[in-house]
Structure 1
Amino acid sequence: MKYNEFLPITLEEMKARGWERADFIVITGDAYIDHPSFGAAVISRTLESAGYKVGIISQPNWRNVGDFKKLGKPKYGFLITAGNIDSMVNHYTVSKRRREKDYYSPGGKMGLRPDRASIVYCNMVKQAYKGVPIIIGGIEASLRRFAHYDYWSDKVRRSILFDSEADLLVFGMGEHQILEIAESLKNGLDIQYMHHIAGTCYKSDTKENLYHFIELPSYETIATDKIAYARAFKIQYEEQDAVRGKVLVQPHGNSYIVQNPPAMPLSEVELDRIYSLPYARKVHPIYEKDGGVPAIEEVKHSIISSRGCFGSCSFCALTFHQGRVIQSRSHTSILEEAEKIVKSEDFKGYIHDVGGPTANFRNIACEKQKKEGTCKNKQCLYPHPCRNLNVDHGEYLDLLRKLRKIKGVKKVFVRSGLRYDYIISDPKDTFLKELCEHHISGQLKVAPEHISPKVLDLMGKPRREVYDKFVDKYYKINQSLGKEQYLVPYLMSSHPGSDLKAAVEMAEYLRDIRYYPEQVQDFYPTPGTLSTCMFYTGLDPRNMKPVYVPKDRDEKAMQRALLQFKNPKNYELVKKALILAGRKDLIGFGPKALIKPLGKERQNIREVKYSNKKPATKNRNSSKNTKKR
């Protein structure tokens, strides 16, 4: 493996290329993996393709400025990202315990990036060099661009632009924005006046030059007023559209955060070009001594076929980051990438995935979106599929068939999320049949998330009846194919709206279908989601109605335990939950019971049963039965 396959990470490598200095230096909280699944690599290669010199500083030691100076001072600026995952989510579980492994670090080692990495890196760069433009981006910056509720500190924080003191924030995927920023800097425009670029946020001391904007409640207001917070979030959520979205302004003290409308979605040609750039498609060789970087394993033999998602689940941040408009690559582009994968040294014949945020969303939801943008107060699939929704798996199915025919490919899996309600809406069963026949290995993972109507409504997910219909069709098709394949449903506990009664309802459902999940995901309140707004405010911002929010640690533990009621370790929690929910009827020996009584309680129940028997029978067998007990 040659170092020159990668962008330079040392001054020596820069000099070997004949560079006196870099135009841009990318600082990332992830290890350096030059693969299109990693945002830092995509932005770097995009700039390189436009003729800019780009250096990489990955996982710098943030305790002193030395690592931040290792490539010298860039000509135009520093580009800073915490990495592919928010640094706080990367470090902490939903119970706020420190994780044991960082999949984006060499050897999976923890501790190679700081908490709130974007802020820390910006502060270190400012110590290293004065007056150099700093642009932040990636998921951490993107979802924290407004004043936001921060789960880890349990308070509302300012926009990350103020806390980081960066000059500009890029939200969304960033390719359009970064090229426009680079061109503006190259042409001599001071970054302090770079206020015209879609998909960016900037700080301003005045509103005088702004037109057709919406002013949000201030940081100071929403930090103390949850009703104002919910109203502010609703506006932010509604205006995330490149076609109809308006400029949003949020006061922070005597200054303002200004968000321009989102950048336009990439065209097929533009997206193809991004994925055709000369990625090494490998982990940088400096990590070989550590055993590589775990994150590459899931993606090195997978293909990203699309971006965006019109599913709009309340707990997902995609609406706020990638948007609801689907952007897809051409078949030619995807097949070319597949050929590269086939030629890689460790390819064993299996393409692990062909998908995106939602694998079976390959086309724009409806023709209206092209000219008018996404609907402001209406979803494509919830509460039921829109009459204008384009439901067609034909193009995606054609792509999968082409991939199956490539020489050297034994199997093409689909492991990205699939919207089962979209599949059910398809009048043809062709896609589901071929999915079961060719693209599943024993089980299919789907995400009903819950079965309680009140919880599903808050999640923006279809009703249980839709999932049951899909389950029935799935098993019938597998039976007709002579295949024994199963469904693995993803389930979520403690989502806003879920009380103990709803959790018991889900436990009964699991009992009835005889499915006992090994893993259950507790709701994780991350910035930028509708559900997090509900979690913090206790309100559904769409209608301002109160929402029950389980926050007590014991209750959350009980809700989780109910979904794993078969686990003996959960017995006491399940018992306590059933008593509190007024469902003692589910403690017993009958077919509907979730748990059986133990100890004295068990004996008492048997004695009650015993005393209800006929006297003659009891007297005749009393000595014998007592001995057995």
Structure 2
Amino acid sequence: MSSINSFLPTTKHELKKRSWNQVDVIIITGDAYVDHPSFGAAIIGRLLEKNNFKVAIISQPKWNNINDFTELGAPNLFFAITAGNTDSMVSNYTPNFRPRKKDSYSPGGNVGLRPDRAVIVYANKVKEAYPNTPIIISGIESSLRRFAHYDYWSNRVRKSILADAPADILIYGMGELQTIEIATKLSAGYNISSLSDIDGIVWKCSIKKWKEMNFLEQNKAIELPSYQDVSNDKKKFLKAFKIIHENQNPIMGKVLVQKHPKTIIIQNKPARVLTENELDSLYELPFLRASHPSYDKPVPALEPVKFSITTHRGCIGGCSFCSINAHQGRMIVSRSLKSILNEASSLTKMKDFKGIINGVGGPTSNMYSIKCPKWAKDGPCNNKLCLFPVPCKNLEYDTTKILEMLRELRKIEGVSKVFVGYGIRYDLAVLDENYIKELCEHHISGQLLVAPEHYSEKVTKIMRKPSNDVFESFVEKFNEINKNINKKQFLITYLMSGHPGCTIEDMVNTAEYIHEKNRYTEQVQEFTPTPMTLSTCIYHTGIDPFTGKEVHVPRSNKEKRIQRALLHYKNPRNHQYIYEGLKAAKRLDLVGNSWKCLISRVNKRKK
């Protein structure tokens, strides 16, 4: 076990051990304190430390009083607040609004250690305790709620989180550049109110001051439909979504402005992406890859990533339901091979390392080293996607560097296995059979994760996922290669139910397809609308903002239950729902004893 002094301090006792009376920045997080590069609070904390700032952590504070928030006193510079690695509402509730039974980011998986809407709650407590200390909010909860947004849990459009929380600045995106710039300027004597010119932040000002600044008349900003407009008019909501989407570009993006009842919300253009050297330096910080020793139970979220390596950032996938585009961005930034190998070598020196690196990649494993010649000058395209409906010809996708990295990792003394635990994009993998072959030979632990998400072409089109023929081509190559190398390895497929565009008929067809192809899986996720995704925009409005076409949205609990049940047709407890779905779709031919039937009979549930 590492010495407690090796972690950033969390108590007065730990401050005293460092001979500190006060710190520069206090990070408040809704997650347990885990010093690992997969945890946002740890990355920001270690980066601030590297830049000679004194940093402390308050993790999962009790919010019924201010005691935990005053434990370490006021920081010299600011409080940095995050809900943690996930939105607190997603952490606390299932798509059916039931309290979750487990929180993977809490010790022992215990629930109830973070409040609903954690950023707002924490910020109010800090403001109560230290009304004159600057508050910076960041992390995915803040990032995706930076404008007026549809909130699934209250079924209404909520104001920007910066309008609800008593914070001075919101950092959106990954946040490293902005955090260091803010800390550096505040330590140099700047006032927090003067830091409105930093890329990658959202700030607010009074309506009176905004009029005096004259931004719109000078064509320095684009005005979004106001909070009241997007709340009352779904067409205005669609318009706002499109403008936000089109200005996610760190090179070509514009300043965006949205009026709220008592304040003006201003988003500066996105921060630039990190360079290769900066990304290398970030992941080479002295992470202990452990949870704080004060916990008497393990933090479940650490286990699957403890001995993993992040090789790149960003995602070119553009899936409608995914928030990565709005948070990490659509440009890939990869680490150098040397940096990755150094990290792998450091893993072999850890006492509990068993020789297995269980994950190598980023949001997906096989986007490492991908480039586009347009990114440097123009950023990602607004008028087309990188992979949908087919991979763009401008993409520089060459598996040479991926394969070189994997081969070099296998050579490191003390490393016995290197697995691709993050899953892969099969529409990229299918472009190079040599990549699939090497994957099957060396980097799969018997099962490979892939996410077709659905088998209805109509639904996958709305999801911006590849067509079925691409998936079938990949499956064919995967099975053929495993047969040739005499290995029994399997695909674990992830599917989604209840997504906008999916009708009961579509789900019946998908269940029939799964049955015919022998693709049954337990890995089914029910669609959860989260702020700023295209799928959530469609869920709220019933319209695709880019085509203007109406889209069916499964809204009732019964329809969503039927859709999910159809994918789990082997479970007898689902048969009543499946029967109702088959009846509604006029497909009772799938009830019976023939080979094609999904269920043989319906067991009446006891009342």
Which bracket does the TM-score occupy, shorter chain normalised?
Answer: over 0.9
8 Å contact 2:370–2:398 — kept in the other structure? no
Residue 107 of structure 1 aligns with which residue?
A: 108
DSSP 3-state at the match of 1:416:
coil
Distance (Å, rounded) in 1 between the aligned partners of 2:300 and 2:447: 24
Deviations 1:194-221 (A, max 9, x none): 1100110000221525343111111111
Find out whether 1:475 has 2:459 as its counterpart: no
Residue 619 of structure 1 aligns with which residue?
A: none
Alignment root-mean-square deviation, CA: 1.3
**Which has the higher mean CA deviation after the structures are superposed, 118-127 or 273-282?**
273-282
Residue 261 of structure 2 aligns with which residue?
A: 253
Once the two structures are superposed, the pairs formed by residues 20-31 of structure 1 within 5 Å of their partners are: 20-31=21-32
Per-residue deviation, 1:587: 1.8
Once the two structures are superposed, the pairs formed by residues 162-311 of structure 1 within 5 Å of their partners are: 162-205=163-206, 206=210, 208-210=213-215, 211-287=219-295, 289=296, 291-311=297-317
Pairing partner for 1:583 from 587, 596, 603: 587
Find out whether 1:434 has 2:438 as its counterpart: yes
Deviations 1:372-430 (A, max 9, x none): 11001100110111121222111011101011111111110001131100112x2x311
Residue 540 of structure 2 aligns with which residue?
A: 536
Distance (Å, rounded) in 2 between the aligned partners of 1:277 and 1:585: 60
Pairing partner for 1:372 from 378, 381, 394: 378
TM-score (norm 2): 0.96
Deviations 1:72-93 (A, max 9, x none): 1111110001111111111111
DSSP 3-state at the match of 2:559:
helix
**Which has the higher mean CA deviation after the structures are superposed, 591-600 or 562-571?**
591-600
Distance (Å, rounded) in 2 between the aligned partners of 1:565 and 1:263: 47
Distance (Å, rounded) in 2 between the aligned partners of 1:10 and 1:465: 56
AA paired with 1:249?
V
Per-residue deviation, 1:254: 4.5
Residue 519 of structure 1 aligns with which residue?
A: 523
Distance (Å, rounded) in 2 between the aligned partners of 1:69 and 1:165: 17
User: Highest CA radius of gyration, 1 or 2?
Assistant: 1
DSSP 3-state at the match of 1:346:
coil
Residue 459 of structure 1 aligns with which residue?
A: 463
Distance (Å, rounded) in 2 between the aligned partners of 1:404 and 1:209: 59
Distance (Å, rounded) in 1 between the aligned partners of 2:449 and 2:47: 34
Residue 62 of structure 2 aligns with which residue?
A: 61
DSSP 3-state at the match of 1:277:
coil
Distance (Å, rounded) in 1 between the aligned partners of 2:57 and 2:530: 28
Deviations 1:411-458 (A, max 9, x none): 10001131100112x2x3111100011011111110111111111111
Per-residue deviation, 1:266: 0.4
8 Å contact 2:575–2:603 — kept in the other structure? no
Deviations 1:16-55 (A, max 9, x none): 3232211111111111111111100111111111111111
8 Å contact 2:5–2:17 — kept in the other structure? no
DSSP 3-state at the match of 2:81:
strand
Q: CA separation of 1:209/1:342 partners in 2, compared to 1, >3 Å: closer, same or farther?
A: farther
AA paired with 2:411?
K
**Which has the higher mean CA deviation after the structures are superposed, 118-127 or 249-258?**
249-258
8 Å contact 2:576–2:603 — kept in the other structure? no
8 Å contact 1:268–1:328 — kept in the other structure? yes
Matched length: 596
8 Å contact 2:255–2:266 — kept in the other structure? yes
Per-residue deviation, 1:572: 1.0
**Which has the higher mean CA deviation after the structures are superposed, 516-525 or 149-158?**
516-525
Residue 11 of structure 1 aligns with which residue?
A: 12
Residue 410 of structure 1 aligns with which residue?
A: 416
Per-residue deviation, 1:364: 3.8
Once the two structures are superposed, the pairs formed by residues 331-370 of structure 1 within 5 Å of their partners are: 331-370=337-376
8 Å contact 1:246–1:260 — kept in the other structure? yes
Distance (Å, rounded) in 2 between the aligned partners of 1:429 and 1:323: 28
Structure 1 segments unaligned to the other structure (5+ residues) = 601-629
AA paired with 1:241?
N
Per-residue deviation, 1:515: 2.4
Residue 569 of structure 2 aligns with which residue?
A: 565
Distance (Å, rounded) in 1 between the aligned partners of 2:307 and 2:603: 53
Residue 71 of structure 1 aligns with which residue?
A: 72
Per-residue deviation, 1:503: 0.3
Once the two structures are superposed, the pairs formed by residues 63-142 of structure 1 within 5 Å of their partners are: 63-142=64-143
Distance (Å, rounded) in 1 between the aligned partners of 2:334 and 2:137: 26
Runs of 4 or more above 4 Å deviation? none
Distance (Å, rounded) in 2 between the aligned partners of 1:596 and 1:495: 27
Distance (Å, rounded) in 1 between the aligned partners of 2:602 and 2:483: 41
DSSP 3-state at the match of 1:539:
coil
Find out whether 1:385 has 2:391 as its counterpart: yes
Distance (Å, rounded) in 2 between the aligned partners of 1:557 and 1:441: 33
AA paired with 2:342?
E
Residue 161 of structure 1 aligns with which residue?
A: 162
AA paired with 2:576?
E
AA paired with 1:349?
G
Deviations 1:50-74 (A, max 9, x none): 1111111111111111111111111
8 Å contact 1:230–1:533 — kept in the other structure? yes
DSSP 3-state at the match of 2:294:
helix
AA paired with 1:33?
V
DSSP 3-state at the match of 2:315:
coil
DSSP 3-state at the match of 2:56:
strand
Deviations 1:174-210 (A, max 9, x none): 1100011111111222112211001100002215253
Per-residue deviation, 1:516: 2.0
Distance (Å, rounded) in 1 between the aligned partners of 2:198 and 2:423: 32
Deviations 1:126-164 (A, max 9, x none): 111111100000011001001101111111100000111
Per-residue deviation, 1:335: 1.0
Residue 608 of structure 1 aligns with which residue?
A: none
